[in-house]
């Protein structure tokens, strides 16, 4: 309907509009359509799936081919090309897809997946098995990828930033049980396994369903047996008898551990360790640990980088979670320059003093040390003499003690040593390597390098979580989650290669 300039409808137009019938193109969903598809034209020339295919084609996949039993000239169904399977998984992970069923579905209609497969369907079991059965081959593949990236000048190992991040396990917090419950479930599972062989109890289901059920019960039994093994390991880490008795293990993923998350909460997780070369932010090493703390992860991380790239990093930059005196000594021995944050680490912290009920005016700073006589003088003017020493990695603690009668008669006793007198003081002396590290970290250069840590070290962690969606593992068990991290790291590195080396040719 049209309006004239004054906004009034023309009578003739209204009449015409009433009789007007639009003609639309019909949708016929009853028909069968057969049309040629140019597979090569499914994706444009600069599509990243072509880059992935090209990159994987440069890798030596002999270890994968060795496992293929079907030989040319002999009977048997041809195997799927490992180059295709690797490319499929890398492309899927790059799109944040980690489900074999989803990848299989995408192979049916998504042009990029269809281009890769040549429009052939791929069973999700095949995809799923391929992802986890070639552990050693996948390790080798990662090493080889690093070789190619080094050859392209993308890795220098002059400076490696290392960091850890917690990734949730494929198990809920409510799957953790004490030993009695695990044993009860295991007993029930064993009975089920025994009954499966009894034909009188066989259900009327198809052989395929029966087989799947049998497999499920056997896997459950194995998982519970593993849970009991893991429970012993968890107990070994507990200090008190009470804690040992209270220890729990997940019945879904026995190797997962409850860990503190970045948001302050706790969840069943694994500790993923990633080493990133600072030059182009390439991942040069990764591992998965069951420890909630990072202190013990630095030395294994440097070992992995050396195994992957063939040499140790010249410098490693870490946060305070890794900077222990043991690690400073270990890196010094290996001649790896360690950069990290570290507190001054007084032997008797304010926290300890507070717990003992010591008044702040009687904290160790209030005691005067005389290096010549090797004694301390307390605020009441009494002398504390040397009373033994304790050697620890990277530090020696010298102990000093006041005279018992001095403290008993002292009017400040309740403020100075309210729990057990006489008062003692510990003087910590760092090993030369630790002292040199602390001095280095007080320089502008040390601080400047340390400031670069966050943007480099946390980038791949964030990328893997955000782009690949690896905030929670889809697989269970240390080996399988390790492989999931390996796939993610491979995908990350190949994506960086595409960005830095492959993409510019199309710019
Ligand atoms: S309690 Fe002992 S150490 Fe403390 S101020 Fe008195 S004499 Fe000195």
The predicted-structure confidence for 265-293, as pLDDT tens digits, reads as follows 999 999 999 999 999 999 999 999 999 99
Is residue 1 predicted with pLDDT exceeding 90? no
What single-letter DSSP state applies at residue 3? B
3-state helix, strand, coil in the chain (%, to 5): 50, 15, 35
pLDDT of residue 347: 53
Q: Which phi and psi (to 5°) does residue 396 adopt? A: -120, 130
The pTM is what?
0.84
Mention every residue, 6+ apart, whose C-beta is less than 8 A from residue 467.
94, 96, 495
Return the HEC string of 326-356.
HHHHHHHHCCCEEEECCCCCCCCCHHHHHHC
Residue nearest to atom 5 of ligand 1 (CA): 380
Is residue 253 predicted with pLDDT exceeding 70? yes
Residue from 287, 300, 302, 323 nearest 160 by CA: 302
Half-sphere exposure of 304 (CA within 13 A, CB side): 21
Is residue 451 predicted with pLDDT exceeding 70? yes
pLDDT in tens, 16-54: 667 788 899 999 999 999 989 999 999 999 999 999 999
Tell me the mean pLDDT in the region 1-10.
Answer: 52
CA–CA distance, 169 with 250 (Å, rounded to integer): 10
410 CA closest ligand 1 atom index: 6
Residue nearest to atom 7 of ligand 1 (CA): 407
- Most informative mutation of 375, 384, 407, 409 for ligand 1 (most atoms within 8 A of CB): 407
pLDDT of residue 14: 63
How many angstroms separate the Cα of 291 from the Cα of each of 2, 97, 255, 425? Answer: 74, 28, 11, 33
CA–CA–CA angle 272, 461, 332 (5° rounding)? 65
Q: Strand, helix or coil at 59? A: coil
pLDDT of residue 191: 85
Q: Which residue has the tokens 């026995």?
A: 254
Rounded distance from Cα 348 to ligand 1 centre (Å)? 17
Both tokens of residue 70? 């079907």
pLDDT of residue 57: 96
Both tokens of residue 301? 């991380």
Percent of the chain with pLDDT over 90: 70
pLDDT of residue 423: 94
Rounded distance from Cα 366 to ligand 1 centre (Å)? 11
Look at 225 and 276; give whichever has higher pLDDT.
Answer: 276
Tell me the mean pLDDT in the region 438-447.
Answer: 95
Rounded distance from Cα 419 to ligand 1 centre (Å)? 13
């Amino acid at each position: 309907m049209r309006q004239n300039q004054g906004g009034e409808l023309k009578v003739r137009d209204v009449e015409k509009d009433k009789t007007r019938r639009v003609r639309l193109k019909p949708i016929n969903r009853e028909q069968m359509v057969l049309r040629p598809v140019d597979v090569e034209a499914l994706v444009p020339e600069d599509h990243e799936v072509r880059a992935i295919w090209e990159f994987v084609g440069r890798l030596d996949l002999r270890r994968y081919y060795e496992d293929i039993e079907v030989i040319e000239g002999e009977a048997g169904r041809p195997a799927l090309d490992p180059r295709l399977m690797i490319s499929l998984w890398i492309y899927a992970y790059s799109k944040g897809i980690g489900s074999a069923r989803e990848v299989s579905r995408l192979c049916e209609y998504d042009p990029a997946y269809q281009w890769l497969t040549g429009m052939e369907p791929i069973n999700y079991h095949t995809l799923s098995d391929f992802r986890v059965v070639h552990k050693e081959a996948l390790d080798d593949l990662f090493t080889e990828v690093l070789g190619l990236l080094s050859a392209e000048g993308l890795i220098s190992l002059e400076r490696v930033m290392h960091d850890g991040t917690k990734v949730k396990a494929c198990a809920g917090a409510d799957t953790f049980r004490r030993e009695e419950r695990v044993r009860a479930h295991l007993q029930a599972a064993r009975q089920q396994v025994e009954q499966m062989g009894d034909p009188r109890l066989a259900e009327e289901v198809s052989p395929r369903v029966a087989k799947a059920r049998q497999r499920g019960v056997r896997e459950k039994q194995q998982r519970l047996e593993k849970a009991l093994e893991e429970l012993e390991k968890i107990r070994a880490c507990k200090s008190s008898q009470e804690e040992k008795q209270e220890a729990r293990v997940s019945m879904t993923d026995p190797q997962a551990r409850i860990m503190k998350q970045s948001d302050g909460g706790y969840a069943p997780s694994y500790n993923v360790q990633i080493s990133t070369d600072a030059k182009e932010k390439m991942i040069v090493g990764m591992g998965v640990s069951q420890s909630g703390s990072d202190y013990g992860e630095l030395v294994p991380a440097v070992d992995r980088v050396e195994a992957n790239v063939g040499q140790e990093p010249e410098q490693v930059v870490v946060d305070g979670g890794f900077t222990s005196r043991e690690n400073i000594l270990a890196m010094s021995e290996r001649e790896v320059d360690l950069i990290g944050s570290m507190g001054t680490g007084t032997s008797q912290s304010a926290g300890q003093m507070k717990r003992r009920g010591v008044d702040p005016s009687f904290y160790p700073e209030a005691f005067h040390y005389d290096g010549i006589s090797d004694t301390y003088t307390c605020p009441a003017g009494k002398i504390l003499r040397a009373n033994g020493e304790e050697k620890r990695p990277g530090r020696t603690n010298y102990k000093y003690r006041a005279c018992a009668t001095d403290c008993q008669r002292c009017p400040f006793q309740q403020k100075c040593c309210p729990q057990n007198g006489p008062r003692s003081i510990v003087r910590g002396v760092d090993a030369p390597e630790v002292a040199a590290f602390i001095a280095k970290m007080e320089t502008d250069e040390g601080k400047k390098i340390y400031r670069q840590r966050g943007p480099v070290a946390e980038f791949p962690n964030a990328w893997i979580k955000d782009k690949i969606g690896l905030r929670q593992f889809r697989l269970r068990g240390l080996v399988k989650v390790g492989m999931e991290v390996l796939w993610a790291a491979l995908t990350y590195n190949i994506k960086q290669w595409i960005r830095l080396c492959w993409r510019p040719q199309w710019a």
